[in-house]
Amino acid sequence: MKFSGWPEKGELVVGEVDEITDFGVFVDLDEYEDKRGLTHVSEVASGWIKNIRDHVSVGERVVAKVLDVDESSQQIDLSIKDVNDHQRSDKIQEWKNERKADNWMTIAFGEDVSDEQYTRVAEALYSAFGSMYDGFEEAAIHGEEALSDTDLDDDEIDAIVEAARENVSVPYVNVTGYVDLESAEADGVDDVKAALEAAEGNGEVPEEVELEVSYVGAPEYRIRVRAPDYKTAENELEASADRARQSIETAGGVGAFHRERETEDE
């Protein structure tokens, strides 16, 4: 998606060098329709520049900082030297992500999607998530619920979720904890089994979360959780342990949760 407006002063933009002169470099802005910026020779690199072509070349993709925008004269002043390596890396990754999201939009709505629908859907994702990429990522993780507060209709939400879940690689985190389950009751084995089933969720674990309970060594059991973020993972880990503890204690046994393994051998 290309923006139809103008970049703002201080914004980082991605563009392709399309002309080099003795006084500066002209850059076609990839993120804005029909917009071209100029980087004065003094803003290309730090220090004295003997030959500007030693620092940039035609066709090179650069990240630049917007120094000034004059809409009346159709001029955008840029600086390449004011962008550090970290900013450059982050901006290029952001730009690449939006290109991926542009492809996902085509997958979701087809090659013949109208400009009107594309723009409306894109604007809804930008408004809710800050970027199309983040919108698709949230849809991949949380499904229809992630888009419920947008202005998109049900068919559009379904199309985005389907495309997201087939194409978006979601970042996940893994956390591990341990729960001790003991029962001296006559049905103690069954009580522990019921507690383990409770730990596994009994259908209460969110769709985006993977939870596994395994035996370590009596009375210790390992709980592994894979989730989209640490907060969710930690919450689900604690909830799993709490379900197991409540189940065993209700049956007259004892349960305890701890983060580090305590048995020596599995």
Q: 65-75 pLDDT, tens per residue?
A: 999 999 999 99
pLDDT over 70, % of the chain: 98
pLDDT in tens, 21-45: 999 999 999 999 899 999 999 999 9
Q: pTM higher than 0.75, yes or no?
A: no
Where does the pLDDT of residue 249 fall: very low under 50, low under 70, confident under 90, or very high at 90 and above?
A: very high
Q: How many CA atoms lie within 13 A of 163 on its CB side?
A: 21
Please spell the DSSP secondary structure of 178-223, one letter per residue.
Answer: EEEEE--STTHHHHHHHHHHHHTTTT-S-TT-EEEEEEEETTEEEE
Burial class (CB in 10 A: 0-12, 13-18, 19+), 111: exposed
pLDDT(2) > 90: no
pLDDT(10) > 90: yes
Q: How many residues does the chain have?
A: 266
Task: Name 32's bridge partners.
Answer: 3
Where does the pLDDT of residue 266 fall: very low under 50, low under 70, confident under 90, or very high at 90 and above?
A: very low
3-state SS, residue 90: helix
The sheet carrying 210-217 orders its strands as 210-217, 220-227, 173-182, 254-258
Report strand pairing: 61-70 vs 75-79.
Answer: antiparallel
Report strand pairing: 36-40 vs 173-182.
Answer: unpaired
Distance CA 246, CA 237 (A): 14
pLDDT in tens, 130-173: 999 999 999 988 889 899 999 999 999 999 999 998 898 887 88
Where does the pLDDT of residue 229 fall: very low under 50, low under 70, confident under 90, or very high at 90 and above?
A: confident
Where does the pLDDT of residue 114 fall: very low under 50, low under 70, confident under 90, or very high at 90 and above?
A: very high
**Least reliable range by pLDDT among 83-87, 128-132, 199-203, 237-241:** 199-203
Counting DSSP H helices and E strands in the chain, the numbers are 6, 9
Q: What token pair was written down for 68?
A: 């000034």
How much is the pLDDT for 264? 61
pLDDT(236) > 70: yes
Distance CA 84, CA 230 (A): 30
Residue 13 DSSP class: E
Mean pLDDT along residues 6-11: 95
Distance CA 228, CA 10 (A): 32
- Per DSSP, helices labelled H in the chain are 85-109, 115-129, 132-142, 154-167, 188-199, 230-250
pLDDT in tens, 162-221: 999 889 888 788 899 999 999 888 888 999 999 999 999 877 788 889 999 999 888 999
Which residue in 68, 18, 72 sits closest to 43, CA to CA?
68
pLDDT(245) > 50: yes
Written as one letter, the residue type at 236 is E
pLDDT over 90, % of the chain: 75
